Every structure is written in C-alpha cells, then in structure tokens.
Chain A
Amino acid sequence: MQTAVSQTSPPKKSFLYDPKVRGIFYQVVLVAAIIFLFYVAATNAIENLQRAKIASGFGFLNNTAGFDISQTLIQFSAAGGTYGDAFIVGLLNTLIVSAIGIFFTTFLGFLIGISRLSKNWMVAKVAMVYVEVLRNIPLLVQLLFWYIAVLGALPQPRNSLEMGAGFYLNSRGLFMAKPLYASNISILLTVLAIGLVGTFVYRRWARKQQEQTGRQYPVGKVTLALVLGLPILTWIVLALVGANPISFELPRKGTFNLTGGMQILPEFVALLLGLVTYTAAFIAEVVRAGILAVSKGQTEAAGSLGLTPGQTLRLVVIPQAMRVIIPPLTSQYLNLTKNSSLAVAIGYPDLVQVFMGTVLNQTGQAIEVVVITMGVYLTISLLTSFIMNIYNRRVAIVER
C-alpha cells in the first residue's frame, strides 16, 4: 500500500497555482497601479501649476505674509512676519488650545464618568443626560452655538463686566493681569528644578525603603512641599527682600477700550468651551468603561485583606482601571487636538485657519501647504501612538 502511494508522483502543476507566484503577481499589479496613479496625478499637477503660473517649492515660507493674526504667542507683524512665522504662530495656537483643553476636559470627563456610576440616582441620571446630549450633536454646531452665546451675550468694551482681581469681560474677550518677569526669575526656576530633582530622589528612596522594610513614607506631602512649597517660599522671600521676580500688569479701563494686561480672544474661549465639554462626554464613557472593567472580585479581595475603601480605590481599583482607560483616553486627546481644527469655523487663528486658510489663499501653493499641515497632525498622531505602544507594552498584563 505504502509503496503504491509513494510511487505515484503528484501531477505536474502549473506554476501559476503556486500561492507565492500569485502573491508576487498581485503585488506587482498593485504597485504598478499605485505608480501609474501617482504618475498621472503628478504630471497633471505640474501642467496645471505651470498653466496657472503658480510657483512650487517651499521658498514661499520666507516671503512676507502681509496679514495680521489676532492671537500671537510669538512676535508677529503683518510687515515683518513671513509665511513661515505665520505657520509657527498657527501651530502654537493649535498646541496651546489643545493643551489647555486636554487639561480641563480630563478633569470634567473624570468627574462625569465617575458621576455616571454614582449610587446617587439623580447624579447618575444627570451625568447620563449630559453624555447623551453632548455626544449626539456635531461639534461644529456646538462651537457655533457657544460662539454666538459667548459673543452675543457680552457687553461692549466701554461697559465691560468687572470681575475683580484685574479680570474684565467684554465682547472683545477676557482681559486679565499679565505677568511680567524680572531678570532674577532664574533664581525661581533654579529652585523649581532643585525641587523636582529632590522629589525624584526622595521618591526612589521611599520606594526602596518600602520594598526593603515595609515602612511607608509620606510621598505625596513631601512632593507637594518640594515642588510647590519651595518655589513659593522663595518667591515670598525674594518679594520681601525687594527683588520680586514676577509682577503683574493690570488692564486699565479707558473710555472706549481696555489697555494693557492680557487679552484672551472670545474665539479662544468659545473653542475651548466647545472642545472641553464635547470631549468630556467621550472621556466620561471611557472612564466609566474602565472602572466597570475592574472585576468585583478585586474589590472584595482587597476588602478581605483589610484595606479601607479609600485604599482599595487608590491601590487596587484605580491602577487596574487606568490600564483600560489610558489607551482610549489618549485617542480622545488626539481627537481633541484634531478637532481643534474646527477653529476655522469661528475664526480662531489655529494652524488650519492661518495656514490652510489665509496662506493657501494668498500663495495658491495648495500642495505644499496641505502637505505641511497634514504632516504636522500626522507627526503628532504617530508620535502619540508610538509612545502609547511603549506604555502599553509596559503595563500589559503578564500572563502565566
């Protein structure tokens, strides 16, 4: 029997049946199609650009922009600023609204997410209504709504709302005290750095002590004292000596307008409000799912070990919930950053509004501008997901 089988050699097959050959064939076709597509697009683009007499290349970044931007974190003027400067101004505006938005939305999102799990029926229901309403209305509609609600309800500059402590509110935005730094700010910064290094060293020491002897040291309090207390103490001492490193310039009320101080645009306020409240609804769901993902047995086991409810939350539930929460939380942060591009709808000068709007219209160099702008967002996204992958590998559960 066996010899009979071995004697019949398998029928000669066409090499086209070889999966390897087929795979190579498919991929060659795909590559050819992609190259053809790019080739056609590129030749058409070159021809069209030449016909429209539009320059190409990135030289336009050094040309004078000739337009003003309403919010600039660096020095920028219509006369002297180049398109390259305008790009940096727009980028910084995007980054600052995203950073502040992420800070507030985390706070609000966690608050609402925890509220949804509250035993208090009222609190849970209100949080649920918040999430459902905010999640199901487009951000653009919310932004326009906030913009009109924020801008429309505010008075003219001459009858600004006075809120005390140097805060004024009117239709041109929020005015507040502007910090001015003296040259000896460096002392303060040095002290802050010392505090940070000290905290780091102390924390390592405390952990080592706990691992070796089981004794716990007050890490939180010492951190607070070193990072916040030390610089503030230095500041007070310096101020008493008469070398105050930080002073404040208050806005002064003129007949028609406010001068001095720091102005926060109403567009910024509207965008921030919209982004924070919208993203918070999504973060709330992430937080809720994360907390629910920690099985009840964990809480019960912690209780049977004699941990107090506070300790259970701090040492058992939160560390495990965070493992589930952090990846989707990061993607929500990325969403917020990407959604900040909706600023273009209400006129906040972010990257898209300044660069893909004004600069694109003035220079007509669509390809370069689009590539640069998308490159920025892509870099932010890829960088974040790269860091997230490293983090995930670190916190992933090591199975037996």
Chain B
Amino acid sequence: MSTAVDMPRFVRAKQVEALPPPNLARGPIAWVRQNLFSGPFNTILTLVVFYLLYVSVPPLLKFLIIDAVWTGSDRAACRADTGGSESGACWAFIWDKLNYFIYGSYTISERWRVNIFFALLAIGVVWLLWLRAPRRDLGAVYFFWIFPIVSYILLTGGNASFSGRFWAGFAILGALVIALFAFFAALLKTAMRPALIMAGAIVAVIGITLALIDVDFGLAHVPTSLWGGILVTLLVATVGIVVSLPFGILLALGRRSRLPIVRMASVIFIEFVRGVPLITVLIMANTMLPLFLPGDMTVDRLLRPLIGTALFASAYMAEVVRGGLQAMPKGQYEGAMSLGLNYPQMMTLIILPQALRIVIPGIVNTFIGLFKDTSLVAIVGIFDLVKTIEASRIDPNWAAPTIGITGYAFAALFYFIFCFGMSRYSLGVERRLAAGQKR
C-alpha cells in the first residue's frame, strides 16, 4: 500500500523560509497597540476615553488659557458689552486683587512683616520635612517655640504691655512651681539638681515667651480683623499643625496608657471630635467659647476658629501617632525597660523617635486634610482665601459673568499646588522608609 517515498518523515528535508522579524514588538506603535488597542473591548474603552478628553480638555484649555483675559484694570475687559471677552477666564481680576488675596486688608505699609512670616514658615517646614537637614532637633525647637513667638510678634505687633501686677503674679507662680518640684524631689529622695533645673527651665521658657510678647519692638499694632487671604489660610494651618502635633502625641500616649481614667478621657475626646463634622466644631467654638469665659473676657474672632481647628486636628493626629506606637515591636518597649529607663525616658528616647519617623506620611496626610479644611473657617466669617474670593466676586468694579468661576479656579489651583506637593512628599518618604524595611 505504501511505498518508501510515501513513508512519513520525521526529519525535515528542506530548509524552511525564515519567518519575518516579529512585527513591531517594540517602539511607540507596538506600545500603543499593546496598551490601548489590545482587544475589541480595550479599543472601545480607549475610544470612549479619547472622546471624553476631546469633549472636556480643549474647552477647558480654551477657557483657562487661550481665550482668557490677562490684562485689564476693571470689569470692562471681561464684559462683552464693553468690548471685552466673556468666553475665557478673567485672570486680570486675579492679578488686580492678588494683594488682597494674599494679605487681606492687612495694613499696606506693614505687609513686609507678613512676607517675613511666610519666609520663616518656609524655613521651618523645610527644616523639619527635609530628611537630611542638619540638626532637626533644633528645627523642632525653632518650629514649635521660636517661630510661633516671632510670628505672633511680627503679625500682631507684639507689645502686649502686661501690667506690673501680671509680672508679680507670674513671679510668685514661678517660685511656687520651683518649690513644688523641690518638694517632690525631697519627698522622693532623688537628686535635687535635675528637679531644680527642670522646674527652672519650664518657668524660664514661659517667662521668656511672655517677656518677648511684652517687649515693645516699635511695630505698629495690626488688629486681626484686618488679616485675610492666604495669610489666614496658612496661619490656621500652621497653628493647627504646631498645636496638634504635641497635643496629638499626648492624646495618643493617653489612649495607650495603662491608667484607666487617662485612657478613657483620651478615648472620649478623640472619638467625640472624630465623630462630628469640623463645621460644627467651628460653630461651637464661635458661639460657645465666649459663654464659657468670664463675662469681661473676650476671645478674638480669629482665635476662636484657631482653637476649633487645633482641637479637631489633634484628635486626628492622635490616631495617626497611635498607629505608629502600635507598630513598634514589643521588644523596643521591653528593651527600654530592661535598661532601667522610666516612662518619660522610654517614650522620648526610644519609642517616639522611631514611631514618629514611621508615621511621617500619615502626619503629612493629616496635614493635607487640615490644610483643605482650613477653607471651612470662611463659613464662620473669617477672611481666609475662599472668603476673600467670595468678597471680591461681588465687587461691582469687577462685575462680569466669568469672575466667579475664575476666582474659584484660582483657589482650586492654589490648594492643588500645595496639597499635591505635600502628597508627593509623603509618597517619597513612604518609599524611602519602605526601602529600609526591605531585606
């Protein structure tokens, strides 16, 4: 039936033509094919997204840049009936009001003080956040003590002019504190020197702070009702972070404490604050704070929301710090104790430096939230950036249809730049910390 010729062969007798090189395995076209048009579903998806982008992006660019009005001194530039253009954003408005958006109604001749405040803030932030900055312990002293005092003096003008009676009272109180420490040292039969040094340091820090506020530097007084714009936005955020970090650490330690009442008080505070919206805390600070103080004492209008945001941020910060404390391996606690360290030493020397380091991303994220939330003070009538935009929007000099949108676009841009920058930073730190954990 079969001959030798028909026998199936298992070895090829003829050379096969070489296949052509794989078509477009690399290069931009192959990339597009792989990532955008790899199948019918993907192709449809890509086309839909392209269409959405086509519908949204060109008009946006047209509005924000191409058709925008860049120059002009009043509404005429942005109104069609006076020969202006209505189809684009009215950046001339922002340019005209820029000083108001930055400083509010802060006395014009004194605005250099605000600029110094911005510079000092930038120095403090960079010092603390740049992981390789020198002497970050000094940075912390600067940011949490020197910077707040200097800023207070710069912005308000200082010169609190305390009375002689106030200083006498302070001297008595200081002596009392020192005596109390000495008494406890004697009672506990511990060394007298460290107790006296500690008490002296506490009294000295408070005293120097008060004295600096008291000194007349010859700066004109600027009432807080004139402050506004980005100054107030950054101020609320700064006060929030300066207060909430130490206070949040205390709350976190309290929540992890073995003492039941301390733990309960911390838990109640944290859960209460985290359970209510910030705006209710702000309204509470606005309406109830004056009630709780003696009748002849008034709280500055700007101070009330500052207290509200600081308390609010503390509760969130406490939870972040608690995460760090819980992430510490138990061996660290046990190691510290076996070295004979007491609780404050264990926390300040061993646990907190490590715990705070690993929660830097969490702290920055909390700060981003705090920074965005500062916009809420506008609702209780504080002239932050959003409120200054609201106020300028209805200025008859700039009555034009695109003003509102332009103003909010500016605010959105401002917040976006800050928040996005911070979130990138926190991502970078996260990656660096993760690199250390890799084995």
Interface residues of A (CB under 8 A from B): 14, 16-17, 23, 26-27, 30-31, 34, 40-41, 44-45, 47-49, 51, 118-123, 126, 132-133, 135-142, 144-145, 148-149, 152, 338-339, 341-342, 344-345, 352, 356, 360, 366-367, 370, 373-374, 377-378, 380-382
Q: A16-B187, A120-B36, A138-B372 are in contact. Are A30 and B283 (CB under 8 A)?
A: no
Partner pick for A141 among B36, B274, B408, CB 8 A cutoff: B408
Q: When A and B form their complex, which 6 residue pairs have the shortest distance between CB atoms, in order from nearest?
A: A381-B275, A136-B419, A366-B287, A121-B35, A338-B277, A41-B292
Contacts of B271 in A (CB 8 A): 381-382
Cross-chain contact A26 with B376 (CB below 8 angstroms) = no
Cross-chain contact A138 with B415 (CB below 8 angstroms) = yes
Q: Which residue of A lies closest to B260 (CB)?
A: A27
Contacts of B404 in A (CB 8 A): 148, 152
Cross-chain contact A136 with B287 (CB below 8 angstroms) = no
Cross-chain contact B259 with A367 (CB below 8 angstroms) = no
A-B pair count, CB < 8 Å, reads 162
Q: A27-B262, A31-B261, A344-B279 are in contact. Are A370 and B284 (CB under 8 A)?
A: yes
Q: A14-B188, A140-B386 are in contact. Are A26 and B42 (CB under 8 A)?
A: no
Q: Provide 25 A-B residue pairs closer than 8 Å at the C-beta atoms, listed in order of the A residue.
A: A14-B187, A31-B261, A47-B294, A120-B35, A120-B45, A121-B35, A121-B36, A122-B45, A132-B420, A133-B416, A136-B368, A136-B419, A137-B372, A137-B416, A140-B378, A141-B412, A141-B415, A145-B405, A148-B408, A352-B283, A366-B288, A366-B291, A374-B280, A377-B280, A378-B276
Partner pick for B261 among A14, A27, A51, A148, CB 8 A cutoff: A27
Q: State whether the Cβ of B379 lies closer than 8 Å to any Cβ in chain A.
A: yes
Contacts of B14 in A (CB 8 A): none
Partner pick for B265 among A30, A135, A370, CB 8 A cutoff: A30
Q: Which residue of B lies closest to A133 (CB)?
A: B416
How distant is the Cα of A168 from the Cα of B279 in the complex, in angstroms? 34
Q: A49-B291, A152-B404, A382-B271 are in contact. Are A23 and B49 (CB under 8 A)?
A: no
How distant is the Cα of A40 from the Cα of B278 in the complex, in angstroms? 25
Q: A48-B291, A123-B45, A137-B412 are in contact. Are A356 and B283 (CB under 8 A)?
A: yes
Interface bracket on B: 35 or more
Interface residues of B (CB under 8 A from A): 35-36, 38, 42, 45-46, 49-50, 52-53, 187-189, 258-262, 265, 271-272, 274-280, 283-284, 287-288, 290-295, 368, 372-373, 375-376, 378-379, 386, 390, 401, 404-405, 408-409, 411-412, 415-416, 419-420, 423
Q: Is the interface of A mostly helix, strand, loop or mixed?
A: helix
Other A-B pairs, 12, CB within 8 Å; known A122-B46, A137-B415: A17-B188, A30-B261, A47-B294, A118-B45, A136-B423, A138-B373, A140-B376, A141-B415, A148-B408, A341-B277, A367-B291, A382-B271
Partner pick for A140 among B36, B188, B375, B416, CB 8 A cutoff: B375
Report the minimum CB–CB distance from A215 to chain B (whole Å).
33
Cross-chain contact A377 with B283 (CB below 8 angstroms) = no
Cross-chain contact B280 with A23 (CB below 8 angstroms) = no
Report the minimum CB–CB distance from A3 to chain B (whole Å).
28
Q: A44-B293, A356-B283 are in contact. Are A145 and B412 (CB under 8 A)?
A: yes
Report the minimum CB–CB distance from B413 to chain A (whole Å).
9
Contacts of B265 in A (CB 8 A): 30, 34
Cross-chain contact B411 with A141 (CB below 8 angstroms) = yes
Cross-chain contact A136 with B420 (CB below 8 angstroms) = yes
How distant is the Cα of A63 from the Cα of B187 in the complex, in angstroms? 61
Q: Which residue of B lies closest to A364 (CB)?
A: B287
How distant is the Cα of A199 from the Cα of B379 in the complex, in angstroms? 49
Cross-chain contact A45 with B45 (CB below 8 angstroms) = no
Cross-chain contact B259 with A48 (CB below 8 angstroms) = no
How distant is the Cα of A229 from the Cα of B377 in the complex, in angstroms? 51
Cross-chain contact A144 with B408 (CB below 8 angstroms) = yes
